[in-house]
Chains A and B, each alone.
Chain A
Amino acid sequence: MHREESLESQSMSALAEKLGAPSAWRRALSPTGNTGDGVFRILMLLVALLMVGVVVAMVIALAVEAMPSIRQFGFSFLRGHAWNPIKGDFGALPFIYGTVASSLIALLISVPLSLGIAIFLVEQAPHYIARPVGFLVELLAAIPSVVYGLWGIFVLAPFARQYVYPVLQQLFGWTPFFRGTITGIGLLTGGIILAIMVTPIISAVVRDVLAAVPGSQREAALALGATKWEMIRVVLVNGAPGIAGAVILGLGRALGETMAVTMVIGNRPEVSLSLFDPSYTIASAIANEFTEATGDLYLSALVELGLILFLVTFIVNGIARVLVWNVTRRTGGVGRAA
């Protein structure tokens, strides 16, 4: 049956050549000369191109919807402080500040923690501990964002307000970062929730990166008389670009995280140095105000925020992928990034 098919396709291609169809073009579509292969390849290619199309359509659709706001404010949108739907005056600065600040707090907490977890799982724990414990850490990534938010509102925020933040204020109240009234809802709580959420992501990638560092590096360090920790430092230096990639990947996730942050950050568009004050992120502004936005300009200002978030996360993720790929490929390890 197969032979008949291929005979048929051969005669088809002979016919096509007689009719003057370019055979090189045919071969590019179906190197095997089989018609079914050509159809199959074209179908799969179309679906793959559909994905590229979706990304392009995203940029176009967001840009079109954001056009009224882009026309009205231009680049001053990025520096504007105001967020006044009644007057129709919109600026993104408070949201950009809140997004960047909460993500940086998250990374400050999460990066050392994730490095510790990855080192423990790759370099220290025996196999029978590393596997189940690694799975438990990964489960943290399986908890939905809205569940983190719920836990943040009712457990983390009251606990931090009562036991943690007053101590911080006593110790560091002389800096501008820990002043003001403590409500438990604010920038720092948002950052802590984000830290819990990105830790499993960063630690998983760092784990892959460390596992891809060749064993000979470890043996060489130990043979020169290094202690266990000194050996680990050699491994860390070897995996540095990949670790940087993991951190940037975590940053990309933190920048776009929506529900959990929306529920604990306080949602007030103000730029305040104090980490106890309420803040607002780009993602939470969209989540909160999109369905209530009255007027085209208000809505398109929110879409423009979305467009900014899209472009920033796209670039950040692109950089992270390149960094992680380079390490896990160069050393022949198997990259399982995120």
Chain B
Amino acid sequence: MANYDRIRRANSAFMTTLTGLCTLLAVGALIIILAHIAWQGIGSLNWQFLIDRPRPVGEGGGIGNAIVGSLLLLLISSAFGLPLGICVGVYLSEIGRGRLGGAVRFIVDTLTGIPSIVTGVFVYAIMVVPTKHFSALAGGVALALIMIPIVARTTEEMLKLVPHSLREGALALGAPQWRVTVGVVIPAAASGIATGAMLAIARVSGETAPLLFTAFGSRFFPESLNQPIASLTVQIYNYAISPYDEWHAQAWAATLVLMTLVLGINIIVRFLTRKKF
């Protein structure tokens, strides 16, 4: 009996240690990946690289046009995605009840899970095929479609955290429901909605697949939103699968720039919301 007890205790100790090792493995993978990016990327990073456009192999060149392109794409997608996403969130939290609300919530949730490459094919079909050319606008719309469900769900959750007494107080003062929502509930949740928006921007700035056949890519600085446009992610992909060592080095440097942006946003958001969660 005592022996059986000892086996049980040993088993428990072994399994609980194993869960710690699992966690260590995941954190270790993160550290290895990040350290490798920093180590590889820092070597090719200089001012010229950040402002120049791509050049043929052996002539240097940089990712200036890709940085500008990525920022433009983020701007376009935010212009469409943030207002629409917030509106859907307001609908889900303040208005949509019963079956229709449930259906919209389900659709928004599954929209989050649709592979981004499929979103790319869809935008290709509705924007690139009719106009017969790739464009920054199509890329921005593809990214916006990925953004909307993320913004909608975080907005909904943030609005639901606003205490009901605030709504009731405003209603009791005679304000109509729309003024309560716009003037009281949304401002009360503003910081939460903003962090949700930032996370959506961080997520979208790392997307490559939906841009491959919407924004396509370019080796020049953008002149019009109606033309193909470069982006950091597509540039990294093209350089990574090229056969040249010089371009590989540039891919690592571009990755370091991208990761600084993405992780920077994530860490800032974490810092801002530290008290809430």
Contact = CB atoms under 8 A, between A and B. Distances in A.
Interface of A: 2-3, 5-6, 32, 34, 36-37, 39-41, 43-45, 47-52, 54-55, 57-58, 61-62, 64-65, 112-117, 119-121, 123-125, 133, 135-137, 139-140, 142-151, 153-155, 196, 199-200, 203, 227-230, 232, 249, 252-253, 255-259, 263, 283, 286-287, 290-291, 302-303, 306, 309-310, 313-314, 316-318, 320-321, 336-338
B121 A149 contact: no
A306 B103 CA distance: 24
B16 A140 contact: no
A140 to B, nearest CB: 5
Given A36-B179, A117-B19, A258-B117, A287 B29 contact: no
B26 A317 contact: no
B236 A146 contact: yes
A289 to B, nearest CB: 10
Contacts of B255: 147, 150
A51 B148 contact: yes
A196 B31 CA distance: 13
A147 B176 contact: no
Contacts of B29: 140, 196
Given A116-B23, A144-B208, A146-B237, A135 B216 contact: no
The A interface, classified by DSSP as helix, strand, loop or mixed, is: helix
Contact of A57 (B30, B115, B126, B182): B126
B16 A228 contact: yes
Contacts of B109: 317, 321, 337
A259 B258 CA distance: 16
Interface string B158-184: 000000000000000011111101100
Contacts of B149: 51
B229 interface: no
B96 to A, nearest CB: 6
Given A48-B88, A137-B27, A142-B263, A150 B121 contact: no
Nearest to B134: A291
A317 B110 contact: yes
Nearest to B217: A291
Contact of A227 (B9, B119, B122): B9
A253 B118 CA distance: 13
B95 A133 contact: no
A64 to B, nearest CB: 7
15 contacts: A41-B95, A44-B87, A47-B91, A51-B107, A61-B122, A144-B262, A145-B209, A147-B33, A147-B206, A149-B240, A150-B251, A256-B117, A258-B209, A318-B110, A320-B113
A259 B30 CA distance: 19
Given A143-B206, A144-B207, A151-B37, A291 B174 contact: no
Given A116-B19, A151-B33, A306-B121, A36 B240 contact: no
Contacts of A133: 23, 27
B202 interface: yes
A37 B213 contact: no
A37 B179 CA distance: 8
A229 B12 contact: yes
B259 A143 contact: yes
A146 B208 contact: yes
A34 B30 contact: no
B8 to A, nearest CB: 5
Interface string B246-277: 00100110010011001100100010000000
A160 B35 CA distance: 19
Contact of A136 (B16, B30, B145): B30
Contacts of A154: 240, 248
B112 interface: yes
Contacts of B262: 142-144
Contacts of A61: 122, 125-126
Nearest first, the 6 A-B pairs at minimum CB distance are A256-B115, A144-B206, A116-B22, A40-B178, A317-B113, A229-B12
B188 interface: no
Contacts of B113: 249, 252-253, 256, 313-314, 316-317, 320, 338
B128 to A, nearest CB: 10
B125 A65 contact: yes
B236 A58 contact: no
Contacts of B209: 145, 258-259, 283, 287
Contacts of A200: 26
A176 to B, nearest CB: 29
